[in-house]
Chain A
Amino acid sequence: MKKKEKSHMLRELAEYLVTFGKINGADEVEMIIVDGHEFGVDVRFGEIENLLEAGSRYLSLRVIKDKKTAFATSSDLSKETLQYLLKNAIKRAALANPDEFSGLPPLSLKKINISSLRLYDPEIPELSSEKKTALALETEKIALDDRRITNSHGASFETNETKFILANSNGFLQEYDLTLCSLSLGLQAGETDNRVEDSWFSSKRYFKELESTEEIAKKAVERTVRLLRPKKTKTQKVPVIFEPMMTSWLLGFLFVCVSGVSIYQKASFLADKLGQRIGNEKVTIFDDGLIPGKLGTRPFDSEGVSCQKTPVVEKGILKNYLCNTYAARKLKIKSTGNAVGTGVGPNNFYLKPGNRRPKEIISSMDKGLILIRTIGHGLNPVTGDLSRGAFGLWVEKGEIAYPVSEITISGNLGEILNQIEMVGNDLDFHTPLAGPTIKIQELTVAGQ
């Protein structure tokens, strides 16, 4: 089937089911169809290890009857199955309790020019599997030519093309297409019992924007070998510098704490703090779904609410919680266009960069830790407490002295936001949660 025909058919299916649901007694109906095509190749030591290619699709639906909600999803898109699921959902809705906050959002009149968001790169579907394989092979080869690298987890190249169609009984019917390409590499250095490992990746909507094989290989090598011959450190409180990926990680934790769902569930230490100071002057955070070409960009969210730029924290003051329609109604505010599936998720959620160069930030530190990776769980949004296994670089007199491992860092997000001393200028939207290098006054680093 041709692409256009298929798109037309899926759109019609979504519309048909909305009508079918209404006829069968639902007050409100919402249909999402996701139709995707994926390709992935893993190479290791110069040979293809896995090659995967497939098309797949699924539909998810929501019905509301008498303010009672039911959801369903299916990867089987036959009309018979979908009619059965839809009827069953309407029947099942009766088992829930009425919830005055339930329901679809009103039809948004805001028109967003989808093509200006640069979500779809026509070059990606045209890339041959030979070319994609060659890029993965080349990336790994550059790294393996470095004699400090002793083993490889392999390199992977992946592409995705996804069509997203949303129809609802309030008259919403829109779709958009996304492309994504990713190139990644994982490495080990050192001998068996003293081995270290790390990786690097680049992931973009446009093939041209992907980091080069050389850049990815060099970063993966650099990140891996800098961990060699780690020392342990004594338990102490010291200043800690977060590399951009670590700032992203911290922002991921903060996102959970400002998500409207955590707020109405009282599962966040930031509940009831709107308008209050939660961080120092250096903390300005936005959620922006409309930055062209970025990974967290989309015209509308999974309920059809237009995306927007929402100030979350401005100079330390908590300005907005991020909501889907349900959480917004619970909190008596407006949806911020953050619906993802049946919950709330980030668009481009980022910390506004400052003007310090990362090097400058390091040289400002007399003694402390550069946090480069964490492993494990240990985030508690209810309290803001965090505690994680960590890898880092020890800094003495403004210079990197040696790597440290088998340490943990612990602290409290609320305290960290008040202790951000410096903010770097190196924001690059490597992931939808993005931040520059930051320096925190003090955290507990536990070791010996």
Chain B
Amino acid sequence: MKNKKISQSLAFEDHFQLSKDDLHKILNIALSKGGDFSEIFLDYKIYNAINMEEDIIKETAESISLGLGVRVLSGEKTGYGFTNDFSFENIKKAALTAASISSSNTLKNATKPSIARVEHNFYPVLEPANKEPQEKKIPLVKRVYTAAQKLDPKIKKVKVILQDQIQYITVVNSEGLMISDVRPMIKLLCLAISEKDNKRESGFSGGGGRVGLEYFTEELTPQEIGTDAAKEALNLLEAAEAPAGEIPVVLAPGHSGVLVHEAVGHLLEADFNRKKTSVFWDKMGKRVSNPQVNIYDDPTLLHFRGSYNIDDEGTIPQKTLLIKKGVVKGLLQDRLSAKLMNMPLTGHGRRHDYTCIPIPRMANTYIDKGEYDPEEIIKSVKKGFYAEKYRGGQVEDSGKFTFSVSSGFLIEDGRLTAPVKQATLIGSNIDILKKIEMVGSDLKFGMQTGTCGKEGQEVPVTDGCPSLKIAKMTVGGQK
């Protein structure tokens, strides 16, 4: 191995100083105990952040993450080692750690890697944000801040964070694949706190995705982000306690995508079905929902936060149909589960970074649009709850899920009336899917700021849905 020389201007591979021969050698070391498959994941990330609060640019941060992981598959078993010290000794040690998962006498040889070109780019940008000078980003932050602060004197506190990131990955495996991706990302967030009569509330908004800074002039302006967060904080000051009990619920388009993510998406990740821990494991081809319901996960949506040109195993991703007309049709697959279940790859093997084993994950998950006019959906409810904005959700394999509504409205006689705050919606997925009564024609996506956690690994995701009517759902408010 050559002496390592670092310069920020050098290309990604130079950071590792590994030739194709070196990589081939490592893949073979990884197979030296008889594994079926070996793989090297090279990961280099540069991250920048700017924080503004209390009227000042408080601090900036820069972060470099550089490392590689070696994985070996042997039947259902996975061995993994990683390092961020690239002496050959250390990489060899990682490869041998991974190799030790197998103890077979039949040895396989790794095919010499050859570079595969990716023909598409789901995130063309003028210039990745990390290459743009900080001086160009700071005014964006200030504009968000001012927009929120100036909206109303009741806004007492504003916090704005701009984060950008670029990730270079290369996947090399024993089947001869060598493939790379360069993934830009921006997230601009605003938190606003309002105060009135000793009562405080908070509002939150943001945007971004795999975009360049031009996004904030063309798609979503800093003013909109700031105003949105401040408006939510102000509205909540006037909001009543949410109702409690089992009532009809209408889910607003866009942000309510967290429902499809929690109640459906996770449980159609292949690993949970292979292990039969998901309630869906025996439901393939079976009806679980209203025929109006079609659900997809599509990692190829242009500029979306959850999109990627290749997944973290080097697979070209595909728009994947999960539920068609209410019937379970597909799973989100990674290499290991696809092989063990004898099903095709979908390109959903993702990882947090080089320290993690890839697992099946969602990308951009959504319920497709239906036929009902959103007005008509609200009109159909005599007394119910309209859930508009969320703080997140969670599900367990048994299908029990919750999601946290930060703001919504009461529905009375087919109209949205009093604004209400903080409530939790709870249900079990099989039950809730059956209770979807109407699917709106107004498909929207939630904020391009979401992150999904599974087994300690965080990956960027987006979700979406049209207006949805749920016949009955348990709403946990205080009244």
Contacts and interface: CB of A to CB of B under 8 A. Distances in A.
A195 B156 CA distance: 47
Interface residues of B, number: 87
Interface string B114-139: 00000000000000000000110010
Contact of A267 (B63, B100, B202): B202
Contacts of A269: 200
Residues of A contacting B: mostly: strand
Given A69-B58, A81-B64, A446-B244, A48 B398 contact: no
Contacts of B246: 447-448
A407 B426 contact: yes
Interface string B99-116: 011000000000000000
A96 B242 CA distance: 41
B6 interface: yes
A377 interface: yes
Interface in A92-150: 92-93, 95-99
Contacts of A223: none
B198 to A, nearest CB: 9
Contacts of A383: 199-201, 422
Given A375-B396, A380-B202, A446 B61 contact: no
A76 B397 contact: no
Interface stretch (B24-32, B292-300, B471-479): B471-479
A84 B97 CA distance: 33
A47 interface: yes
A316 B246 CA distance: 36
B478 A444 contact: yes
B428 interface: yes
23 contacts: A47-B76, A53-B80, A54-B83, A54-B94, A70-B59, A73-B61, A74-B65, A75-B64, A78-B4, A92-B134, A151-B277, A153-B397, A192-B276, A192-B282, A266-B156, A266-B193, A267-B193, A378-B402, A385-B421, A389-B394, A389-B424, A406-B428, A448-B474
B380 interface: no
A49 interface: yes
Given A75-B84, A376-B402, A95 B134 contact: yes
A406 B426 contact: yes
Nearest to B44: A76
A342 B161 CA distance: 15
A387 B423 contact: yes
Interface in B421-473: 421-424, 426-428, 430
B8 interface: yes
A182 to B, nearest CB: 12
Contact of B424 (A77, A85, A88, A376): A376
A293 B476 CA distance: 40
Contact of A378 (B15, B399, B422): B422
Interface string B2-21: 00111110000001000000
A79 to B, nearest CB: 9
Contact of B85 (A55, A153, A193, A389): A55
A92 B51 CA distance: 13
Interface size class of A (residues with CB under 8 A): 35 or more
A333 interface: no
Contacts of A202: none
B404 A56 contact: no
A80 interface: yes
Interface string B49-87: 010010011111111111100000000111111111100
A277 interface: no
A84 B7 CA distance: 9
A69 B402 CA distance: 40
Contact of B53 (A48, A76, A265, A444): A265
A389 B77 contact: no
Among B246, B403, B476, chain A packs the most CB atoms within 10 A around the CB of B476
A154 B111 CA distance: 34
Given A96-B58, A406-B426, 15 more contacts: A70-B61, A76-B84, A77-B85, A80-B7, A93-B60, A96-B56, A99-B58, A193-B279, A267-B157, A375-B394, A378-B402, A387-B404, A387-B477, A389-B426, A444-B479
Given A380-B422, A382-B201, A408-B476, A48 B15 contact: no
A375 B394 CA distance: 6
A303 B402 CA distance: 38
B200 A382 contact: yes
Interface of B: 4-8, 15, 50, 53, 56-67, 76-85, 90, 94, 97, 100-101, 134-135, 138, 156-157, 159, 193, 195, 199-202, 242, 244-246, 275-277, 279, 281-282, 355, 357, 391-404, 421-424, 426-428, 430, 474-479
Shortest 3 CB-CB distances between A and B: which pairs?
A408-B476, A389-B402, A376-B402
Contact of B58 (A49, A92, A97, A382): A97
A408 B424 contact: yes
Given A50-B80, A444-B244, A84 B8 contact: yes
A96 B64 contact: no
A252 to B, nearest CB: 15
A396 B61 CA distance: 55
A95 B50 CA distance: 10
B478 A408 contact: no
Contacts of A235: 244-245
A280 B101 CA distance: 56
Contacts of B475: 408, 446
B276 to A, nearest CB: 6
Contacts of A70: 59-62
Given A50-B80, A188-B398, A410-B477, A377 B404 contact: yes
A411 interface: yes
A84 to B, nearest CB: 6
A50 B357 contact: yes
Contacts of A75: 64-67, 84
B64 A73 contact: yes
Given A85-B62, A92-B60, A447-B474, A188 B277 contact: yes
A195 B279 contact: yes
Interface in A54-93: 54-58, 69-78, 80-81, 84-85, 88-89, 92-93
A97 B56 contact: yes
A174 B383 CA distance: 63
A278 B264 CA distance: 41
Given A197-B397, A387-B422, A387-B476, A408 B402 contact: yes
A51 B400 contact: no
A96 B59 contact: yes
